[in-house]
Structure 1
Amino acid sequence: MKFALKHKNWTVEDWKWVIWSDETKINFTGPDGGKQCWVKDAGFSSKLVKPTVKFGGGCIMIWGCMTWEGIGTMCMVIGRMDSSQYIEMLDEKLTKTMLEMCNGYSLTNLIL
């Protein structure tokens, strides 16, 4: 709510300067949480059993961004992201997006 109130008077021109970024984990074999279902008096039925994958099936983590001008750089995160990997990724990928999409403005003028 704080964010919305702070920016409620921004114009479209103001929002054009925002770079939105996020990361997501994509599982190869379904969601993190297991699903369970109890069917009263069903006994064993192969129709009610869902096969599993040993060792969780794996996942990848992806970071990406977008601007008013379009989709920015996307990259795969290797392993667990720590602060140094996050800073390195921002330095490489976010800077690349800023240079490609900010119409030749100097980076020093873009960073507030």
Structure 2
Amino acid sequence: MIRIERGSIYTVTAKGAYTGKPRPAIVLQTADLRLESIIVLPLTTDSVEESIVRVGIPPSASNGLRILSYAMCDKISTVPVANLKEKIGRIDDLELKKIEAALLTVLGFSD
């Protein structure tokens, strides 16, 4: 099994309420856990105002995105590792910190 790094962006092909079509998603789960499933955060290109539940990820050479995308911090998903397809890239540490802060609020851990 390959090592899937936290913060990496993969195309995910899982069927679910918010993952019905192939879409990029950020890996949230630590690489130290090698389970059959993995926790991801889907991305959208739907133009929305950045907020605590939507963290903007501008395109860059390192993340492989071609258009401004938003991490949907209120749509945390667990998918089978087999549903991770092409690795697109990786977000930078500052973007990961913004997502972590948003998740603390969304999950109620910042109270």
Task: Answer yes or no: same fold by TM over 0.5.
Answer: no
TM-score range, shorter chain: under 0.3
TM-score by length of 2: 0.27
Q: Relative contact order (C-alpha < 8 Å, sep 6+): which is higher?
A: 2
Determine which structure has the larger strand proportion and give its number.
Answer: 2
Identify the structure with the greater helix proportion: 1
